[in-house]
C-alpha cells in the first residue's frame, strides 16, 4: 500500500495527458472509480490496517478478566477443558511423551450455559492472547472473502501474541455451525464450502514447533449440523459438553451473581435453586438482576425472598401486563388455574410454588410448579401425573362452568406430546414399538386412548374436591395470586 500514492499520481497524470490530446477520458474515469470503490470495500471488509476481529479487554487485548472460579455450575466442563489446555502450559512434557497437541476444542451445549466465558477463562488459564469472532463474520457474498478472513483471523492471533510477548494464542469462534455446516448443503453458494475448507487447512497447519502455538476453541448449540471433517480427531480433538446446571450448580451460580448484592435474612438461595430447574446460567444472572431491580423499584435496601420469587415468574413468563379481562373471563381463568394447581398438588404433593391469575407475557394465568430433585428420567406414572395436571384446567372449566375455552389449547398440545412419549417409550398397552415402523393411525389411537383414560381420572379427582376448587377460585379472584404454602393451607382446610 505504500506505493499507492505514486500509482495514483501516475494515473492522474496519464488521464490529464490523454484529455489534453483530445481522448475521451470519461470511460477511463468511470472504470477507475469502480476499481477504487471495490478496492475500498474489499479493504474495509477484510479489515485493512486495523484488527477486524474482537480482542479481549478494552486495553488493547490484554488478558480477559474471567477465570474458571468465576464460572459456576460447570465443574465437569471446566475440568475437561483444563486437561485439554495442559498441552499449552506444559510443552516440554508433551514433547517428552510424544503427545500430539490438540488442534481444537468444541464447546457444545444450550444457549446461555457459559461457553464464551469458558473460552475467555481458558485464555487466562494458559496466559494466551485471545481473539474472538462469530461464524457470521465469515459468510460473504463475494467468492474468496470468507476464506481470506479465516486466514486473517489466525494471522491476527499470532501477531497479537507476539505483540504481547506470549507464546500461545487462543482463537474463539462462536456459532461455528454458520461456517462449519455440512458441505454440499449449499449447492448454489460454494463460498460456504470454500470458507470451511480454509478453516480445515488452517487447523491442519497448527504445530508444536510454531513460534506461536494456536488453539482453536469453538462454540455451538447445534453440533449435529457440523461437517464430519471438523469433528474428526486431529481437528476438534475434544468435544466438551456444556449442559444446563443441576441444582448444586444453580446454587453455585446464584451465589456468584448475588455476592455483590445485599440479601435479606429471609432469602434462601437453595430454595431458589430448587425452584429454577431448567434455568441456564444466563437465566439465573437475569433472575438475580431482576430481583435487584424490583427491590430498587420498591425502595428496599435489601433483596428479599418475594423479590426473587417475582423475578422467577418474570424470567419465565415476562412482565405483568395491564390486560384487564372482564369479570366472567377472569372467573374462567381462576377456575382453569385452580384446576391445574389442585391436580398438581394431589398427584405430586408440595409441587405447587405459586398460583396466579394476573396476565404475564402470553399467559392469562399460570401455575408455577417445582420439584424436590432434578429429574432426567421419567417413569410412566410420572408422565401420567404431568398429563393429568395439563388436562386439569380444561376439566375444571367443564365441572364448574359447563364448558371449555380456547385457553386450554397449549395444555392439550403438552398432554398429547407426553402421551406420545409414553407410547414411543414402550410404556403403553402397545408395548415396545419402533417410531419409524409404527403406523400413524395406530399411534393416534394409542395416544387418544391414553388421553381419554387420564381425562376420566382427572374429572374424578377434581369432582371429589369441588369444594376446595370453589374456595381456590374465590381466593384467586380476591388476591390474583397466592404462594404454594397459602394454596396448600387452603386446600387442606376443612370444608364449611
Q: Which residues have C-beta within 8 Å of that of residue 109, sequence separation ≥ 6? A: 77, 115, 221, 241, 242, 243, 244
- For residue 182, the SS3 value is coil
Q: CA 270, CA 241: separation in Å to the nearest integer?
A: 25
Q: CA 57, CA 49: separation in Å to the nearest integer?
A: 20
Which residue in 43, 23, 264, 45 sits closest to 137, CA to CA? 45
Which residue in 136, 124, 50, 47 sits closest to 82, CA to CA? 124
Tell me how long the chain is.
Answer: 496
Q: CA 241, CA 84: separation in Å to the nearest integer?
A: 13
Which residue in 366, 359, 287 sits closest to 320, CA to CA? 359
Catalytic residue among 80, 191, 198, 337: 337
- For residue 237, the SS3 value is strand
Q: CA 383, CA 372: separation in Å to the nearest integer?
A: 16
Query: What cell was used for 399?
Result: 365441572
Q: CA 115, CA 241: separation in Å to the nearest integer?
A: 9
Query: What cell was used for 115?
Result: 461457553
CB 327 within 8 A of CB 387: no
CB 212 within 8 A of CB 168: yes
Catalytic residue status for 480? no
Q: CA 239, CA 84: separation in Å to the nearest integer?
A: 10
Q: Which residues have C-beta within 8 Å of that of residue 57, sequence separation ≥ 6? A: 63, 64, 65
Report the half-sphere exposure of 270 (CA within 13 A, side-chain side): 2
The alpha carbon of residue 130 and the mean position of all alpha carbons in its chain are separated, in whole angstroms, by 23
The alpha carbon of residue 495 and the mean position of all alpha carbons in its chain are separated, in whole angstroms, by 47
State how far the alpha carbon of 360 is from the alpha carbons of 322, 370, 371, in Å: 9, 19, 22
Catalytically active residues, by annotation: 337
Amino acid at each position: 500500500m505504500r506505493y499507492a500514492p505514486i500509482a495514483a499520481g501516475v494515473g492522474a497524470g496519464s488521464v490529464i495527458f490523454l484529455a489534453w490530446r483530445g481522448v475521451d477520458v470519461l470511460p477511463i474515469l468511470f472504470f477507475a472509480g469502480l476499481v477504487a470503490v471495490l478496492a475500498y470495500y474489499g479493504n474495509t471488509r477484510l479489515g485493512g490496517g486495523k484488527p477486524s476481529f474482537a480482542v479481549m479487554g478494552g486495553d488493547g487485548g490484554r488478558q480477559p478478566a474471567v477465570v474458571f472460579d468465576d464460572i459456576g455450575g460447570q465443574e465437569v466442563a471446566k475440568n475437561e477443558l483444563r486437561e485439554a489446555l495442559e498441552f499449552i502450559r506444559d510443552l516440554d512434557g508433551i514433547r517428552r511423551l510424544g503427545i500430539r497437541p490438540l488442534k481444537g476444542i468444541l464447546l457444545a451445549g444450550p444457549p446461555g450455559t457459559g461457553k464464551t466465558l469458558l473460552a475467555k477463562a481458558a485464555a487466562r488459564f494458559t496466559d494466551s492472547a485471545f481473539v474472538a469472532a462469530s461464524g457470521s463474520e465469515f459468510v460473504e457474498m463475494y467468492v474468496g472473502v470468507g476464506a481470506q478472513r479465516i486466514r486473517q483471523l489466525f494471522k491476527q492471533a499470532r501477531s497479537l501474541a507476539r505483540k504481547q510477548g506470549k507464546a500461545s494464542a487462543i482463537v474463539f469462534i462462536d456459532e461455528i455451525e454458520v461456517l462449519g455446516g455440512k458441505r454440499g448443503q449449499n449447492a448454489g453458494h460454494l463460498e460456504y464450502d470454500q470458507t470451511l475448507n480454509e478453516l480445515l487447512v488452517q487447523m491442519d497447519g497448527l504445530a508444536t514447533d510454531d513460534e506461536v502455538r494456536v488453539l482453536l476453541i469453538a462454540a455451538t448449540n447445534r453440533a449435529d449440523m457440523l461437517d464430519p471433517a471438523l469433528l474428526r480427531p486431529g481437528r476438534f480433538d475434544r468435544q466438551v459438553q456444556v449442559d444446563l446446571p443441576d441444582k448444586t450448580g444453580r446454587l453455585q451460580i446464584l451465589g456468584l451473581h448475588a455476592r455483590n448484592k445485599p440479601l435479606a435474612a429471609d432469602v434462601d438461595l437453595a430454595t431458589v435453586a430448587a425452584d429454577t430447574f431448567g434455568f441456564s446460567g444466563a437465566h439465573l444472572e437475569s433472575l438475580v438482576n431482576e430481583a435487584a431491580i424490583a427491590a430498587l423499584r420498591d425502595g428496599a435496601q435489601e433483596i428479599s425472598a418475594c423479590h426473587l420469587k417475582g423475578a422467577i415468574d418474570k424470567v419465565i413468563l415476562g412482565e405483568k401486563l395491564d390486560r384487564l379481562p372482564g369479570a366472567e373471563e377472569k372467573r374462567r381463568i381462576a377456575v382453569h388455574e385452580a384446576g391445574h394447581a389442585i391436580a398438581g398438588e394431589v398427584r405430586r404433593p408440595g409441587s405447587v410454588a405459586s398460583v396466579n391469575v394476573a396476565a404475564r407475557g402470553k399467559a392469562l394465568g399460570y401455575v408455577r410448579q417445582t420439584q424436590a430433585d432434578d429429574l432426567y428420567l421419567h417413569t410412566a406414572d410420572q408422565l401420567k401425573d404431568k398429563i393429568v395436571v395439563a388436562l386439569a384446567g380444561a376439566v375444571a372449566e367443564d365441572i364448574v362452568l359447563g364448558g371449555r375455552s380456547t385457553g386450554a389449547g397449549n395444555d392439550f398440545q403438552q398432554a398429547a406430546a407426553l402421551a406420545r412419549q409414553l407410547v414411543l417409550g414402550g410404556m403403553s398397552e402397545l408395548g415396545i414399538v419402533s417410531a419409524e415402523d409404527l403406523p400413524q393411525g395406530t399411534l393416534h389411537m394409542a395416544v387418544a386412548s391414553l388421553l381419554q383414560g387420564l381425562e376420566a381420572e382427572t374429572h374424578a379427582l377434581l369432582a371429589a374436591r369441588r369444594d376446595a376448587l370453589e374456595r381456590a377460585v374465590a381466593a384467586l379472584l380476591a388476591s390474583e395470586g397466592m404462594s404454594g404454602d397459602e394454596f396448600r393451607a387452603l386446600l387442606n382446610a376443612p370444608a364449611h
